[in-house]
Amino acid sequence: MARVLLSSELQPLAGGVAELNLAAVDVRELFEQLRRHCPALAEHVQQHSALAIDGVIYQRPFAEPLAPDCEIYFIPRIAAG
Amino acid sequence: MSEQSTPKTYRSIGTSPVRPDGIDKVTGRANYGADRHLPGMLHGKTLRSPHAHARIRSIDVSEAEKLPGVMAVVTGADFPHLQSAMEEAGESQIDVWDLARNVMARDKVLYHGHAVAAVAATSDAIAEAALAKIRVDYEVLTPVMDIEAAMADNAPLLHEEMRTQGLPAAADRASNVATVIKLARGDLAAGFAAADVVIEREFSTPTVHQGYIEPHAVVADCRENGQATLWCCTQGPFVVRTLTSKVLNWDVSRIKVIPSEIGGGFGAKTTVYQEPVAIMLSLKSGRPVKMVMNREEVFRATGPTSASRIRIKLGANRAGKIMAAEAELKYEAGAFKGSPVMPGCMCVFVSYEMQSFSITGYDVVVNKPKVAAYRAPGAPMAAFAMESMIDEMAHKLAIDPIQFRLDNAVREGSQAVYGPKFPAIGFEACLKQAESHPHYRAPLGANQGRGVAAGFWFNVGMQSSATVNVQEDGSAIVITASPDIGGSRASMALMASEELGIPYERINALVGDTETAGYCDVTGGSRTTFATGMAVIQASKDVIRQMRERAAKVWNVEIDQVSWVDGAAVPAAEVAAEKDLKPLSFAELARNAAHTGGPIAGRASLMAQGAGAGFGVHLCDVEVDPETGKVDIIRYTVIQDAGKAIHPAYVEGQLQGGAVQGIGWALNEEYVYNAQGVMENPAFLDYRMPVALDLPMIDAVIVEVPNPSHPYGVRGVGETPIVPPLGAVANAVHDATQVRFCHLPLNPPRVLAGLQAAGA
């Protein structure tokens, strides 16, 4: 199960929970599940967020594989300077 | 100098050859934005608002249009009406309504210098005369020039329809606060209760400009078939194409963007100002149009970075562990929403382990130019505040400032305040380098002081493409669409050389345009060596695969019986012996390509992921004149983790350049506005940036903790070095004077007033 850990800012979009455990083998499946269970969160993060999988940041994730028990955070996309 | 080395040894990367574009640049042969001339070209000029805040009642261009030599006049009415919508724009999202109105005002002007109309004429003088004949009827409004004024009850509104986003409930009235951000973790009250020492201070930083040497310049040429070509100085031709097409509501395929050489950008040349206007003037006149800003226009009408107000409360125990921290960051966005307050919030506590914290950010619009990116957008102001607090806390606890940082530093596995756990990072290594550097123990004289500060930037990856064309003489051409700002031609050539196994001098690295090169996001975000470099590496590997195939054909063996070693196809031992085969060099395979299947070209396009975070630590010595308040930098050392330095001399240049810009921010730079919201110092004579005579040689120490997500371990290096200087200088001034300065710049009047107030 992928552990999705939500910041205080994102928790209201997921019904107030701080953590979601989702059975997903890749990012595509992760987003499918998010769209099913937390559509508001899914819409927000797909528009605005990068993804950190076990600390490695994916600016625009698509179908990256997810290891069992991986840790996932959504973080704001960082622009360039 | 390189203090640590990655275990792998390399032939090309890690060396510092002469840059291929260097001679053209120092002899004046290089073509910058303003150097483009086309037959029949017209001169474009912009009429700018004389008011910081006003409603446009009407614009009359009829007299200007009658002037002989005037070929076209445009106003906001000539541009399409766009709805507010967040659109993908290369590397980030942008509200096209805001962008279009920043390019050319419609119903309101929102800062002094806001573009109101533009003219194309047969000469500069005629264009200037025509501007004087345009009549604009303004209803002048009260300007809102700082955060306090913008957030005050009953403040004049810049945008009557803007509602604050990010509140727990939908805002019921308009506001100058575009967004509120909250980040929090742990039990803040319990954390402060467990602290033995709690300090709280407020800081402020002024509006500052990137100060690039080359003003914005563009030539637009629209043809009868509806196609437009732009020549311009930009950090990203593809982002210019995207943004210009949004403002004009055109398909991107109608616009070709050819980037010129670029005389500095530092983030600010990742957006558009004159480009859509020049196209519109060219379209109307049927002739090419050139528009070149002067320095005053650059200051008044292009994006500086935010002024800020930051309050921090910090608690630590006697053992030197941070127990809790609270921050409130308010950043000016300029005339339209979108300050870098989010990265400011993400960076303010990022260097330290935090169990309990609360961060609140405010994105505030004011009647100043819309801010643009500037090296590590939002981070330097946040680090100034936090690194000043760290310094003060270390002194209160009687702990060495570097030791205090080491005791609280994030390491691999630490949870960043913005969420994820850090992979391998080099902060601890940088702190230890600083601690052991001779600078840190060197004696100081009278009125001298030493400051330390740390800094962080995320770095990014994003989209890049590269093509490697093999030539029949055994050389190769590398083409990308990443404009070369900091020496990227050299770093691209070094990486291709490393992969292909041919000398650096045999590789010609070029910057292509939007129709001849594959898509690249901007040169910015410290991404080019990392991401475009990764594309060059992959394109080079594609060439190697094709060369192994050719050798296999020549030898009539399977490709997996051919390896690539030191720039040559080498047969496996068994077939080499059986068939008496000798290795085929890159040059031999290139020369015979026409006989073995045709030209060889490698290509790669990618979304680079896993950019490695960059940490740095700066040491600064100052001498403060107690009679005048003047601060001189007498010694400065930058220590930064580069992951792997591809071209160490250019990495050092990035570290030195970032430090210099940060020192200018700390000591002198600021937009000075009068009561009407007019900037009073829009020239380098009065907007005081440091020059070489102001500073000592800046020592650069490259630490190399490899980024595991890059083949060579590269991390971006361009942005982190501007983050620590503000705090390092302020901490050094405190060390010299025992006065804590919380408001920048530390120019002589401010320092002298601080000394006098303290009785020093």
Q: In what order do the strands lie in the sheet with B584-585?
A: B562-565, B568-571, B584-585
Phi, psi of B216 (to 5 degrees): -65, 135
A47 touches chain B (CB under 8 A): yes
For residue B667, which phi and psi values (nearest 5 degrees)? -100, -35
> Is A73 in Cβ contact with B420 (below 8 Å)?
yes
The whole-number average pLDDT for the span B365-372 is 97
CATH assignment of the domain containing A24: 3.10.20.30
Which of B184, B460, B610 is opposite residue A56, by nearest beta carbon? B610
Greatest C-alpha distance within chain A: 37
Chain B positions touching A57 (Cβ under 8 A) are 420, 458, 461, 609-611
Closest-CA residue of chain B to A57: B610
Pairwise CB contact (< 8 Å): B461 & A59 = yes
Q: How confident is the model at residue B90 (pLDDT cuts 50, 70, 90)?
A: low
Task: Dump pLDDT digits (tens) for B644-684.
Answer: 999 999 999 999 999 999 999 999 999 999 999 999 999 99
Amino acid at B416: A
Q: How far apart are CA B386 and CA B625, in angstroms?
A: 26
DSSP state of B459: -
* Of residues B569 and B169, more confidently modeled: B569
Number of domains forming the structure of chain A: 1
- Give the sheet arrangement for strand A2-5, strand by strand: A19-22, A2-5, A71-76, A49-53, A56-58
Chain A positions in Cβ-Cβ contact with residue B342 (cut-off 8 Å): 76
Mean pLDDT across A34-45: 94
Which region among A7-21, B199-213, B725-739 has the lowest average model confidence (pLDDT)? A7-21
Task: Confirm if B78 and B167 have CB atoms less than 8 A apart.
Answer: no
**A81 belongs to a structural domain:** no
| Residues B420, A47: C-beta atoms closer than 8 Å | no
A19 lies in which domain range? 2-76
User: How is residue B325 written in tokens?
Assistant: 């921290």
pLDDT at B93: 75
Q: What is the pLDDT of residues B534-567, one digit of tens each?
A: 999 999 999 999 999 999 999 999 999 999 999 9
For residues B556-579, give the mean pLDDT: 97
Q: What is the pLDDT of residue A80?
A: 64
User: Quick one: pLDDT band at residue B6, thresholds 50, 70, 90?
Assistant: very low
Asked if pLDDT for residue B141 goes beyond 80, the answer is: yes
Contact B208, B305 (CB under 8 A): yes
| Burial (CB count within 10 angstroms: exposed 0-12, middle 13-18, buried 19+), residue B556 | exposed
Q: Average pLDDT, whole number, for chain B?
A: 96
pLDDT surpassing 90 at residue B94: no
β-sheet with B228-232: strand ranges across = B70-75, B115-121, B42-48, B289-292, B217-222, B228-232, B255-259
The nearest CA of chain B is from the CA of A35 a distance in Å of 21
- CB count, 10 Å around CB of B213? 10
Domain ranges (residues) in chain B: 3-29+461-608, 378-459+612-757
- Written as one letter, the residue type at B710 is H
Mean pLDDT on A25-52: 94
- How many angstroms separate the CA of residue A24 from the nearest CA in chain B? 19
If one counts every other C-beta atom within 10 angstroms of the C-beta of residue B31, the result is 12
pLDDT tops 70 at residue B92: no
Element (DSSP H or E) covering residue B72: strand B70-75
Calpha distance B238→B438 (Å, rounded): 46
Is A81 near chain B, with CB under 8 Å?
A: yes
CB contact under 8 A, B421 and A62: no
How far apart, in whole angstroms, are the C-alpha atoms of residue B45 and residue B209? 22
Q: Do A5 and B342 touch (CB under 8 A)?
A: no
In whole angstroms, what is the distance from residue B267 CA to residue B91 CA?
Answer: 12
SS3 B248: helix
- In angstroms, the CA B403 to CA B307 distance is 31
Q: Are residues A57 and B609, on separate chains, in Cβ contact within 8 Å?
A: yes
Structure-token pair, residue B224: 């009868």
pLDDT tens digits for range B381-421: 999 999 999 999 999 999 999 999 999 999 999 999 999 99
At B619-641, the pLDDT tens digits run 999 999 999 999 999 999 999 99
Looking at every residue in chain A, the average pLDDT score rounds to 92
CB contact under 8 A, A71 and B421: yes
For B378-459+612-757, CATH number out of 3.20.20.80, 3.30.365.10, 2.70.170.10, 1.10.1060.10 equals: 3.30.365.10
Question: Are B236 and B524 in contact, with CB atoms under 8 Å apart?
Answer: yes
- What pLDDT, on the 0 to 100 scale, is given for residue B2? 38
Helix ranges restricted to H, B28-173: 62-66, 96-103, 124-132, 147-151
> What pLDDT, in 10s, does the model give residues B411-454?
999 999 999 999 999 999 999 999 999 999 999 999 999 999 99
For residue B709, which amino acid is it? S
Can you read off the two tokens belonging to residue B536?
């060059």
Arithmetic mean of pLDDT, B452-472: 96
CB-closest option in A9, A58, A74 to B181: A9
Question: Would you say the CATH fold of B378-459+612-757 matches that of B3-29+461-608?
Answer: yes
Residues 16-45 of A with CB under 8 A from B: none
Find, among B626, B564, B623, the residue nearest to B752 by Cα.
Answer: B626
Give me the mean pLDDT over the B587-596 stretch: 98
**B139 min Cα distance to partner chain A (Å):** 36
- What integer pLDDT is reported at residue A79 of this predicted model? 72
The predicted-structure confidence for B479-493, as pLDDT tens digits, reads as follows 999 999 989 999 999
Written as six digits, the tokens of B462 are 């994003």
Q: How confident is the model at residue B91 (pLDDT cuts 50, 70, 90)?
A: low
Give the one of B92, B419, B610 whose C-beta lies nearest to A79's C-beta: B92
Say if residue B3's pLDDT is above 70: no
Is A78 part of the contact surface with chain B (CB cutoff 8 Å)? yes
Residues whose CB is less than 8 angstroms from the CB of residue B311 and which lie 6 or more positions away in sequence, other chains included: B200, B201, B202, B203, B327, B328
Q: Do residues B428 and B409 lie in contact, with contact meaning Cβ atoms separated by under 8 Å? A: yes
Asked whether the predicted pLDDT for residue B7 surpasses 70, the reply is no
Q: Is pLDDT of B254 > 60? A: yes
Query: How many Å lie between the alpha carbon of B708 and the closest alpha carbon of chain A?
Result: 9
Residue A7 forms part of a structural domain: yes
pLDDT of residue B4: 39
Question: pLDDT category, A16, cuts 50, 70, 90?
Answer: very high
Q: Given pLDDT bands bounded at 50, 70 and 90, which one contains residue A78?
A: confident
Task: Tell me what pLDDT residue B86 has.
Answer: 83
**What is the side-by-side strand order in the sheet with B698-703?**
B448-457, B614-624, B631-641, B698-703
What is the three-state SS of B126-168? HHHHHHHCCEEEEEECCCCCCHHHHHCCCCCCCCCCCCCECCC
- Matching CATH number, B3-29+461-608, of 3.30.365.10, 3.40.50.300, 3.30.70.360, 3.40.190.10: 3.30.365.10
